[in-house]
Amino acid sequence: MTPQQADLVEQLIAVGRKAVAAGLVIGSGGNLSAREPGSDACVVTCSGSWLDELRPEDFTLVAIADGAVRDGHPKPSSEAMLHLATYRVRADVNAVIHLHPQTSVLLDALGKPIRLLTIDHAYYVREVRSTPFIQSGTPELAEAGAAAVADGCNCVILGHHGCSVLGETVELAHKRAANLEEAARATLTMLQLGDTTTACPPEYLARVRAGEGSV
């Protein structure tokens, strides 16, 4: 790996630990990837790795165009196809975080939209989409997940499974994933209190979607 790829690996190792500590995923659920801007390959967690115990040797280098694993690298995660398909349709994306956040998945399964309550939710998440249940680790899931974000959306819930969250950097993708689940938890609380309408002011959400807002 190049020094830049090795740095991305260290960033993903840190994200894995934080994601497990925050309850966004348990153990070996989920997978992470990143690439240098414009690169034709990405680093991705290998099969069976635990996100809070990641080491540099738990990553593999995979060609984005055809999924070929670079010589000497371990087998990538079974969900690597989702990452590769996403990079193919989003030239601006350099990190993909796939986690299993329970509240986000629960609300989606119940048909309850995740509401963006705070300015952080609105700024980082902006929009949440979802796909129906599709068997994990399949080309069909990879293509559905990529299609859901092809036009610029950065957060998609994969039905009864998890989420795929994107960013121009590893840090931004992580912030979006954290805010997605926080928004889901806030939504669940609001629903338990009988509230079905409260959300961040729509004018602020419109501004951040237009690239004008800040936190």
168 carries an active-site annotation: no
Whether 149 contacts 89, CB under 8 Å: yes
Whether 149 contacts 164, CB under 8 Å: yes
DSSP 120-152: HHHHHT---EEE----TTSHHHHHHHHHHHTTS
What is the CB neighbour count within 10 angstroms for residue 3? Answer: 7
Q: Which of 36, 57, 79, 171 is catalytic?
A: 79
21's tokens? 């500590």
| Residue 139 to residue 136: CA distance in whole angstroms | 9
Determine the 3-state secondary structure of 170 from DSSP.
helix
| Residue 94 to residue 92: CA distance in whole angstroms | 7
Give per-residue burial for 127-152: e unless 16+ CB within 10 Å, then b.
Answer: ebbbbeebeeeeeebbbbbbebbeee
Q: Which residues are catalytic?
A: 79
